[in-house]
Structure 1
Amino acid sequence: YAVQARRAGIEGALHMEVDVDPADIEAETGYVKALSHRKDSLLRGAIASCRPEEPGFAAYLERQRADPFIKGFRRVLHVMPDELSEGALFRENIKRLADTQLTFDLVVLPHQIPKAIALADLAPNVQFVLDHCGVPDIKGSSEHAWREHMAEIARRPNVVGKISGVVAYADTGSWTVETLRSYVEHTIECFGWDRVVWGSDWPVCTLGGGLSTWVAATHALLAGASIDERQKLLSGNAKRLWSL
């Protein structure tokens, strides 16, 4: 990743958890932090995995928030039962993130976005990040519900949209920049330039052509944007959001 990222002009990165076995969650973060100490590392912090549905979350949060390398958390939801985020313990634990300066990434399918909205409303002092443009079904060209849900979740000021993942949700053998355009532009239009960040989604992006291809597609999609708008999406907003 580091070799490809430098060639593409990436100067810094946050590591996103990869849904390891629950027993290895803290080991994953420790390993990534150790990598960040290497000379010329691109790593500036980590979004750690978590299990808000479990009673040990409160103690886990206290341990992790003491480490400035940890910038936020993610619990993968799009491959889990829809009702997971509706549990009382899950919701109470999400509220614990209020005013910690730690973000919570939401990776949900389009039909689950209303559940993400419910979380954002339940915890208005928690900063959420909606991953992968809300995981649209680009290959299936199914936009209607996704477009409406994206507009609705973007009305929550405590949610930021992440421009990422879309090359993996398109037809990986035939997509072009124009295939992605309406999804990326709708996300930016909904959230505005001050509330969007960019992600590589590496190595998943290799399903749709690789990191350099996604970076090139991003710049093509941003050709009509101003220098200030591009700067916000590609680095400025992330620096502010995660205190980088």
Structure 2
Amino acid sequence: MIFDTHLHLIDRQALRYPWLQSVPALNRDFSHQDYATEARRAGIDAAFHMEVDVHPDDIEAETSHTKKLAADGGSLLKGAIASCRPEDSGFPAYLDRVRGDPFVKGFRRVLHVVPDDVSEGVLFRENIKRIGSILTFDLCVLPHQIPKAIALVDLAPDTTFVLDHCGVPDIKSKAEHPWRDHIVEIARRPNMAAKISGIVAYADPADWTVETLRPYAEHVIQCFGWDRVVWGSDWPVCTLGGGLSTWVAATQAMLAGTSDEERTKLLSANARRIWRI
């Protein structure tokens, strides 16, 4: 079975998502019920909710809303990667509150939607060092920003960082550089893991195949090794490239020929170990 480490849920009645207006295809509600029906059919039996870059005033409300969904009978939700703003002076107090909540497994601050120098600020970096070993930090960056991600990883050697979406390669343009070399470099950090997630959204939706995706996924797995890769759907963003079932099928096709142990590590075991599930 599959542990989905990267599920987004959208409820526009409960929370505000300023960025959705710029992505019409995603500007609607995406419920746990809709996800769970397809997910179970595809072999997914557990998931983490990944923050959806809600309005800053709704960050803690998003976690509370997700916890209520997780409490419903039959929910696939086993925890949440919460949004955060390490560039804000209020982060230490927020971190103290979150540390007392076992439902929160880690943080994410999407960095490709803010100026590059945000992650280079003194306060941002001091706050990243505060996270420690209990919570993880997801890095969502574009290929040219991976060196900035490396700088953060080196600042906090006790924290496990997770590189989202294979480092967001530009698959549609068949671009491999500087992405390929940057993946090699960031994978050298022992406190790094990588997420094989949602890369169907970065391919041409009209004509991608498994062989289109394979060089990117395999390069990440080769660099990080089977013990430091996890799987994520990036639903509903993956619907831009074919959908959840299509992405699961493509993943299984790319894993053909690997051992049972390797597949299990990527699809579930590593996630359960990293996040102590």
TM-score range, shorter chain: over 0.9
**Aligned AA (1:49):** S
- Matching of residue 80 in structure 1 with residue 141 in structure 2: no
- Secondary structure (helix, strand or coil) at the match of 1:235 reads helix
Aligned residues: 243
Name the CA distance, whole Å, in 2 between partners of 1:148 and 1:207. Answer: 27
RMSD: 0.6
- Matching of residue 183 in structure 1 with residue 201 in structure 2: no
- Matching of residue 121 in structure 1 with residue 154 in structure 2: yes
Identity over aligned pairs, percent: 73
Of 234, 239, 243, the match for 2:267: 234
**Counterpart residue number, 2:44:** 10
Moved over 2 A (4+): none
Q: Is the 8 A contact 2:198 2:247 kept in 1?
A: no
**Counterpart residue number, 1:157:** 190
Name the CA distance, whole Å, in 1 between partners of 2:205 and 2:116. Answer: 27
- Matching of residue 194 in structure 1 with residue 223 in structure 2: no
Counterpart mapping for 1:31-110 below 5 A: 31-99=65-133, 101-110=134-143
**Aligned AA (2:58):** D
**Counterpart residue number, 1:142:** 175
**How far did residue 30 of structure 1 move?**
0.3
**How far did residue 165 of structure 1 move?**
2.0
**How far did residue 40 of structure 1 move?**
0.7
Name the CA distance, whole Å, in 2 between partners of 1:73 and 1:98. Answer: 12
Give the unaligned 5+ runs of structure 1: none
TM-score (norm 1): 0.99
Q: Is the 8 A contact 2:51 2:82 kept in 1?
A: yes
Give the unaligned 5+ runs of structure 2: 1-34
**How far did residue 200 of structure 1 move?**
0.4
**How far did residue 144 of structure 1 move?**
2.1
Name the CA distance, whole Å, in 2 between partners of 1:98 and 1:68. Answer: 15
Q: Is the 8 A contact 1:135 1:165 kept in 2?
A: no
